[in-house]
């Protein structure tokens, strides 16, 4: 696992084939397969016509790289 120097910014990760769910958190480390260790991870279910946005705290997680479609800064 790679670990960068200093603290990484908060990111939003779009999941493969899970269009209504995103994961937000701070990247703690990653490997050559884009497996990610995230700190302070939160599952965000996007708002739809029928429901409001919902958030669920996950804590520290390992997200398998096969599930990652896009990583963007969450500080925007």
Give the model's confidence band at 3: pLDDT under 50 very low, under 70 low, under 90 confident, else very high.
low
- Cβ(25)–Cβ(43) under 8 Å? no
| Structural domain boundaries enclosing 42 | 10-73
Question: pLDDT, tens digit, for every residue of 30-72?
Answer: 999 999 999 999 999 999 899 999 999 999 999 999 999 999 9
What is the C-alpha separation between 42 and 50, in angstroms, rounded?
A: 21
Q: Is residue 53 part of a domain?
A: yes
Q: Is the pLDDT assigned to residue 5 strictly greater than 80?
A: no
What CATH number is given to the structural domain containing 59?
2.30.30.100
Encoding tokens for residue 43? 């599952």
What's the domain count of the chain? 1
């Amino acid at each position: 696992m790679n670990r960068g120097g200093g603290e990484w910014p908060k990111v939003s990760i779009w999941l493969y084939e899970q269009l209504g769910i995103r994961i937000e958190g701070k990247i703690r480390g990653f490997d050559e397969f884009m497996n990610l260790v995230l700190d302070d991870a939160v599952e965000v279910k996007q708002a739809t016509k029928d429901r409001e946005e919902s958030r669920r705290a996950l804590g520290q997680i390992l997200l398998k790289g096969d599930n990652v479609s896009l990583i963007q800064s969450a500080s925007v």
